[in-house]
């Protein structure tokens, strides 16, 4: 009788251990499935949200080719290591949505983004890269792909300076070069006169755009040196470097303009565009 009782106790313990092991395995499997599902849903959420923003901005710009533009855009970086996307990867995108020259109205900038876009948002005197279809759609956004994935990610992407060929940096380099290539007539650039080096060698304007100005279609470059707290002026050494770097045949001029004057012109539509600076 005692032996039967001991056998039943041992048998019960074995069943309990098996049940416990099975329960642990089930919990682990559920956790793994939940993790995989969560990551998948997150990726789809990032992808779908980004695509929705892209297409809504595109459609707001009254483009009829938004699905075509999206397709050309995502092919540049999807399924790729986010540090191996060169500027040329966006060539098909620029072909799908080429820049339309706005002769005598094209405006470039460096270290003056806020004042420039406050001006162009209120007045149609000038057109910047960010006012074009692609510029409007992608300004302020972050995106990247990952090897083996067809999704678009907006988190975990490399910072601008982390690697040269990251998707965001490469897009703006390619777009800036292409926009500069079609700059025509009398072109302006708004630089910051409140810093020591208005024409900074590391800026996109200096390292990309100036090098792509075409003297066959571009007549002149007018530097608008915007000053809030005057640190530099039109005789600054960096601006002399800018003048030297311009292709032969492109005339150069420079004006020192208080930021308050630009803001006043932006807010007063009765002031003619030509009188803003």
Token pair of 101 as six digits = 């020259």
Higher-scoring residue by pLDDT: 120, 27: 120
pTM of the model: 0.82
pLDDT at 91: 98
**Collapsing DSSP states into helix, strand and coil, what is residue 235?**
coil
Whether residue 103 lies in the annotated active site: yes
184 is catalytic: yes
| DSSP line for 138-150 | HTT---B--TT--
Q: Are 98 and 175 in contact (CB under 8 A)?
A: no
> What average pLDDT does the chain have?
89
What pLDDT is stored for residue 198 in this prediction? 97
CATH number at residue 247: 1.20.82.10
Domain housing 116: 2-275
Name the strands in the sheet holding 251-258, side by side, starting at the edge strand that comes first in the sequence: 107-110, 185-192, 218-227, 251-258
What total number of domains does the chain contain? 1
pLDDT (0 to 100) of residue 141: 97
pLDDT value at residue 34 = 45
- Residue 59 contacts by C-beta under 8 Å, 6 or more apart in sequence? 66
Q: Of 140, 142, 137, 261, whose CA–CA distance to 190 is shortest?
A: 261
- Summarised one tens digit per residue, pLDDT across range 218-258 is 999 999 999 988 889 999 999 999 999 999 999 999 999 99
Helix/strand/coil for 129: helix
Catalytic residue among 83, 103, 163, 234: 103
Give me the pLDDT at residue 63, please.
79
Reported as a single tens digit per residue, the pLDDT across 33-65 is 444 545 544 545 899 999 999 999 999 988 779
Comparing 129-138, 157-166, 171-180, which segment has the lowest mean pLDDT? 157-166
2 or 114, which is more confident? 114
Write down the catalytic residue from 58, 125, 184, 254: 184
CB–CB of 171/138 below 8 Å?
yes
């Amino acid at each position: 009788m005692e032996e039967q009782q001991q056998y039943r106790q041992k048998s019960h313990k074995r069943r309990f251990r098996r049940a416990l092991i099975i329960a642990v395995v089930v919990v682990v499997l559920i956790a793994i499935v939940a993790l995989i599902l969560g990551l998948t849903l997150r990726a789809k959420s990032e992808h779908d949200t980004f695509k929705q923003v892209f297409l809504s901005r595109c459609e707001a710009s009254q483009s009829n080719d938004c699905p075509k533009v999206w397709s050309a855009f995502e092919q540049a970086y999807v399924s790729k290591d986010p540090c191996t996307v060169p500027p040329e990867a966006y060539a098909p995108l620029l072909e799908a949505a080429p820049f339309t020259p706005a002769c005598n109205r094209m405006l470039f900038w460096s270290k003056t983004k806020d004042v420039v876009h406050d001006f162009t948002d209120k007045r149609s005197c000038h057109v910047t890269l960010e006012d074009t279809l692609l510029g409007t759609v992608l300004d302020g956004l972050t995106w990247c792909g990952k090897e083996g994935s067809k999704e678009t990610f907006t988190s975990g992407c490399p910072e601008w300076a982390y690697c040269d060929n990251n998707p965001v940096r490469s897009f703006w380099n390619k777009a800036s070069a292409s926009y500069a290539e079609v700059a025509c007539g009398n072109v302006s650039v708004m630089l910051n006169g409140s810093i020591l080096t208005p024409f900074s060698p590391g800026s996109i304007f200096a390292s990309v755009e100036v090098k792509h100005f075409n003297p066959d279609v571009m007549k002149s470059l007018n530097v608008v040196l915007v000053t809030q707290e005057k640190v530099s002026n039109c005789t600054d050494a960096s601006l002399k470097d800018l003048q030297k770097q311009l292709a032969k045949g492109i005339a150069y001029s420079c004006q020192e303009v208080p930021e308050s004057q630009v803001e006043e012109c932006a807010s007063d539509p009765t002031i003619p565009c030509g009188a803003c600076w």
